[in-house]
Amino acid sequence: MAENKIPKRSEVPEELTWNLGDMFESDEAWYKENEALKEMPGRIAAFQGKLGESAEMLLSFFRLEDEVELRLSPLYGYASCKNDQDQGNSVYQDMRGKAMSTFVAISSAAAFATPEIMAIPEDTLNLFFVAQPELETYRRSLYRIRRRAEHILTPAEETLLAAAGEMAQSPDNIGSVFRNADLKFPEVEDKDGGKHQLTSGSFVPLLESSDRVLRKNTFDAYYDRLGEFKNTIASTLDAEFKQRRFFATARKYPNTLAAALDETEVPQEVYLNLIEAVHANLDKMYRYVSLRKKMLGVDELHMYDVYTPIVADAAEKISYEQAKETVLEALQVLGDDYVELLKEGFNNRWIDVYENEGKRGGAYSSGNSRPHPYVLLNHKDTLDSMFTLAHEMGHALHSYHSCKVQPVSTSEYVIFVAEVASTCNEVLLMRHLLAKTTDKKQRAYLINHFLDSFKGTVYRQTMFAEFELEIGRMAERGEALTADALSAKYHELNKLYFGPDMVSDDGIALEWARIPHFFYNYYVFQYATGFSAAVAIANRILSEGETAVSDYKKFLSSGGSSDPISLLKIAGVDMSTPDPVNSALQLFGELVDEMEKLV
């Protein structure tokens, strides 16, 4: 497809678009099903007050929930995909709105279920399992509801907390509106006096420029402007941690970290082990920083030099057809059955490939895997796009395996393991490319791509996680999160993570003010743990072969059938120890070694 003109949706060849007819043969069929689902809230409400009456009643309710999932998932999936393929189409904007209304109505009708299930005495529930063995299918679902019993309050208190929930979103909402709508920046000049528009979106692309004057002016202008509002932004972050403290205390958790991680059954030790392991491997990061300084040929390396490429452009155009073939070759190590599934996705239009007018940006694999997953790309015939293809198909086949093997109630996996399969595919692709590349320039280009992924995903996200942990502890001690306190802590961590060869410019102390993830309640650490687990699994697959592949496929097929730490152990990775992070960063060090020799 021509790169200089973005086509209209109607101009995209059909074979390069996804086939949504596998969900609904027509929009009319979708509208008919949406209308039919309007009876569902009434069917659900009929169970209210009865879940503890008998094993049969509880089983019937869970089976109805399964039916809801099997019907609602494609309903919402079809509407979302239709909307995402052309967001300017008002028909599909309306369809998506209707799907959301149906979802909300059904969810609201089922709100009684959790407190009723919580209220069933343990002895009674044990008798239910004996009386109705088919309830075993839902033991995991029951456990996930009941495991947090000590943190569930009285109905009146729960009602009060629920009412406070919308208010608790205010710090994140205010921060988002400020960053994305109200915050404006001046134009910045390059070395030739040319003007460039600076926005939150253009900030990193401008820092990728080879023009160091432009990079410095961009960095200074951005943080100077951010500094004018540092007290306002700090106040929103202070409010965020105050509401976390409120809810953690109300639900009888020892601290905000425990409250957040308990949602997905991740022990606090996993979070703390990650930070400890990365600290133990900071020497490798320091060597990478030193290498960057050397390759850029600068007397001082500044924070505005972090994003610019350090390898002279060795990029080759990689067509979509070439990308598919290379991905198939790289993932052959996962067996013929895995490759055949990939081919099925490639050949049967699971994927929407190229950009068109109005199409949603970025890339994703839909969570809906019935009858199969759908993948949205905006392919650009680059190395990055090839890795994105491998990444999203990793998500897709994880979902496919889980939905095929698991009952409906345990087919969805939690966010802690969500990035493992996708990143494992990327690691296998990178190792494949390196194994068949001897050209020094090309190897350096590939290794740099991999090193940047490591740096951005493991080191940087762990630094964010440590900052969030530290300010959470400050809040729990009753300390106000002032702009000066936040900046001092962030500057300290930046110096620790980048080491002696990096000039930690004053402006970087304000970077916390531009990162939305600090409002996501201890979320970012999962990027680093997921990447580390994926590297460990890929290494095991390449070194042990069939046994490791078999274990990995069991993991892919496990959905949410157990807690995430136990699921990863199936694949041979124990995230309750620092070993996977140490192993991943050992590979990072080996790649730095090779890069030093190549240059």
Just list the catalytic residues: 392
Neighbour tally for 516: CB within 10 Å: 12
- d(CA 467, CA 486) in angstroms, rounded, equals 9
| Secondary structure E strands in 444-524 | 502-503
- d(CA 446, CA 326) in angstroms, rounded, equals 14
Beta bridge partner(s), residue 120: none
Backbone angles phi and psi of 375, in degrees to 5: -120, 130
Question: For residue 195, what is the enclosing H or E element?
Answer: strand 195-196
CA 238, 244, 250, 256 torsion-angle sign: negative
Amino acid code (one letter) for 294: K
DSSP classification of residue 7? P
Residues 6 or more apart from 266 whose CB is under 8 A from it? 416, 563, 564, 565
- d(CA 193, CA 54) in angstroms, rounded, equals 78
Largest CA distance in the chain: 81
DSSP classification of residue 385? H
Instruction: Name the nearest CA neighbour of 520 among 143, 277, 240.
Output: 240
Q: Tokens 């529930």 identify what position?
A: 125
